A = this chain, B = another copy of it.
Amino acid sequence: MQKLPREIVGYGPVRSYEASSGGKAGIRSKVLANLDAAIAACGLKDGDTVSFHHHLRNGDAVLNLVMVALARRGLKNLQVAASSIFPVHAPLVAHMCSGTVDRLSTSFISGPVGEAISSGLLGKPVVLTSHGGRARALDEGALKIDVAFVAAPAADALGNISGRMGPNACGTLGYPLTDVDVAERVVAVTDRLVPFPVAAIDIPQNKVDFVVAVDRIGDQGGIASGTTQPSDDPVSLAIGESAAAVIAASGLLREGFSFQTGAGSVSLRTAEAVGREMATSGIRGSFCAGGITGQHVKMLQSGLFETLMDVQCFDLEAVASYQRDVRHQAMSAAAYAGPHVGGAVVDRVDAVVLGAAEVDHAFNVNVTTKADGVIIGGSGGHADAAAGSRLTLVTTRLTAAGFAKIVPDVGHVTTPGTTVDVLVTDAGIAVNPKRADLADRLKQAGLPVVRIETLADMAAERATRKRPPRAAGRIVAVSEYRDGSVIDVVRQIERDEEPQQRTPA
């Protein structure tokens, strides 16, 4: 080889290629023996942040497996940055008690972890974000991930991950898609290690550092859990029909219509009714977005929509559709809901149907706390979808468990009323006063439009229990709006009774 100068004008100092260091790159594998080896290889240390995603929902086993390994290694003061926490993650409480975990950042908490947080388990307040706000915090560096652990339904030895194969196929991987772009290290945890290359890559190998095979990443059966359980009750059906009537009357249900619903029974009923109306009127919509269910898949297959924009499959019909239909597209949390991307998918949704634990006179919505102030959820995509959609419908019955759900002031503001257009209940429809145009349309369509205060009064009459005043204790959780500002806080609950000992099942 030629002798090279030490420096080249206009280029700079020269580091010469050394023939001796050349030769084949060699075949390497990222596969490590177990989670302990991965934790060591990542150099995780006290105070670091580990991230998880919730595509297996209440069937996820990866967060618990990793936490056991982190505790075994003796790590302390870790931050858990999980896109959502479910009842299956109850063991996290013990890791908080032991000091392995001292901070939690997440978009949704249901089950024992929420109860423990509300009782003051953690010294530092939990940070509750929206899905879009979490993506923004990650992309902007406000939330830094040291190691992202990705529950991988299938992976190969070079780190390619698929959500479409394996015993626990979960479909799209919208949440880790955002994490792997920013995490210092990424570990794929899989129960289906396949020969290279995975034939349907959802996260590519260059974003993944290590691969660990475990017996089970969880239980696919847990995907359709929590908010995705359908129901046949007549009240849900009635509210769904009303919500569909509101959409039809709004003027938005026309060629190119775009639609988002959650996976609760009212959402599913609304989607059914909207689909019926589209079929009857010969309307071809553009896309459905968000978490995707079999109901959306049916609408795609019957030609009512052209494509599905799927951040997370909410049931196994959706998983099967994503496996076989290219019109069923994955999107990352950032593309779905980020307020920082110059236009997210939620910003192009015509109508979204959202649920509520409570709604107040100002149309503020609480999906974070129960009537007693205990954390039972969080925004997820709620605040994002409300802010983005041209028509944001919040649906709820007047009361639940004896408590009024339409109230003068919500116990916690998750989604500001300025982003909510209409409230649909089993006792009438209330339109946000700033949407007088919408109220006119609904009245012309003969829909039962009433003032929200009237609904609140009716709810108060039907209620058999009175919500306690907001807790006044220490702040145990901070709700960040999607832009990172603080929209509300959750305070510690002072319980009357002693906490009960749980008997292991």
Give A residues with C-beta under 8 Å from B. Answer: 1-2, 4-5, 8-11, 14-19, 22-30, 123-125, 127, 157-159, 181, 195-197, 199-201, 204-206, 209, 256, 286-287, 306-307, 309, 326-327, 329, 331-332, 334-335, 338-339, 341-348, 364, 387-388, 390, 413, 416, 418-419, 470, 475, 478, 481, 483-489
Closest chain-B Cβ to A434's Cβ sits at a distance in Å of 8
- Additional A-B contact list (15), CB under 8 Å, known A2-B488, A17-B481: A1-B488, A8-B475, A17-B483, A22-B418, A23-B387, A23-B419, A24-B390, A27-B343, A181-B181, A196-B286, A197-B287, A201-B331, A205-B343, A205-B344, A326-B326
Closest chain-B Cβ to A111's Cβ sits at a distance in Å of 23
Q: Report which of B10, B29, B327, B478 forms a contact with A11, defined as CB distance below 8 A.
A: B478
How many angstroms between the C-alpha atoms of A486 and B334 in the bound complex? Answer: 39
Query: What are 12 sample pairs from A and B whose C-beta atoms fall under 8 A apart?
Result: A4-B489, A9-B125, A15-B486, A16-B485, A25-B346, A29-B343, A195-B256, A197-B286, A197-B287, A205-B344, A206-B335, A206-B341
**Oligomer: number of copies:** 2
Residue among A4, A15, A205 having the largest count of chain B Cβ atoms under 10 Å: A205
Q: Report which of B11, B329, B484 forms a contact with A127, defined as CB distance below 8 A.
A: B11
Chain B residues with CB below 8 A from A347, complex form: 25-28, 158
Closest partner residue, chain B, to A347 (CB atom): B25
CB-based contact B327/A18 at 8 Å: no
Closest chain-B Cβ to A418's Cβ sits at a distance in Å of 4
Knowing A11-B124, A159-B343, the reply to whether A4 touches B486 (Cβ < 8 A) is yes
CB-based contact A419/B22 at 8 Å: yes
CB-based contact B199/A327 at 8 Å: yes
Closest chain-B Cβ to A27's Cβ sits at a distance in Å of 6
Knowing A28-B342, A158-B343, A197-B287, the reply to whether A334 touches B18 (Cβ < 8 A) is no
CB-based contact B489/A416 at 8 Å: no
Q: Report which of B195, B206, B306 forms a contact with A332, defined as CB distance below 8 A.
A: B206
CB-based contact B159/A329 at 8 Å: no
Closest partner residue, chain B, to A306 (CB atom): B199
Chain B residues with CB below 8 A from A17, complex form: 416, 481, 483, 485-488
Closest chain-B Cβ to A4's Cβ sits at a distance in Å of 6
A-B complex: 5 closest residue pairs judged by Cβ atoms: A10-B124, A17-B487, A206-B341, A17-B485, A22-B418
Chain B residues with CB below 8 A from A200, complex form: 326, 329
CB-based contact A348/B196 at 8 Å: yes
CB-based contact A484/B10 at 8 Å: no
How many angstroms between the C-alpha atoms of A205 and B327 in the bound complex? Answer: 17
Chain B residues with CB below 8 A from A342, complex form: 28, 30, 158-159, 209
Closest partner residue, chain B, to A323 (CB atom): B326
Knowing A29-B343, A338-B206, A342-B209, the reply to whether A15 touches B348 (Cβ < 8 A) is no
Q: Report which of B19, B206, B418 forms a contact with A418, defined as CB distance below 8 A.
A: B19
CB-based contact A348/B486 at 8 Å: no
